[in-house]
Amino acid sequence: MNDAGHANQRGKSSVAALVVRLFWMFLGNMVLGVSVLLIVKGGVSLSLIDVLYWLIVPLQVGARYLDVAWFKGNTAYGEPASMDHWRRYTFGLLLFAVCAWLAAHGGTYWLAR
């Protein structure tokens, strides 16, 4: 492959890396936040919003994994991220996701009483 082919492949990789990073850093979190608001607004019963919420969480974990393992992502301080960073991110996201989801449904339950 010539140099132009390598440059093109690097460009695709950097675009893919950017998309993955934007997803786990911003888009996924925005979807989770909007989902929590819609859960609170929608009432106590489970809905498709809950399904969307619990689909986004593993997608974010997977995106962060790809960022660290495949795209050699960095920490917030610009240092190379390790699998230890990924494990901490995963634990924190799961803890936050469970607490936010329970609070959204619990808050809706108490407001409905």
pLDDT in tens, 13-37: 789 999 999 999 999 999 999 999 9
Number of structural domains (the chain) is 1
Look at 49 and 9; give whichever has higher pLDDT: 49
Q: What pTM did the predictor assign? A: 0.81
In sequence order, what are the beta bridge partners of 80? 74
Residue 45: its pLDDT value, please? 82
Residue 11: its pLDDT value, please? 41
Residue 86: its pLDDT value, please? 97
Cα dist from 93 to 39, 44, 54, 110, whole Å:
18, 23, 12, 25
Whole domain around residue 65: which residue ranges? 3-112
d(CA 89, CA 54): 16
The mean pLDDT value for 88-105 works out to: 96
Q: For residue 9, what are its two tokens?
A: 């492949």
Mean pLDDT of the chain: 86
d(CA 35, CA 52): 8
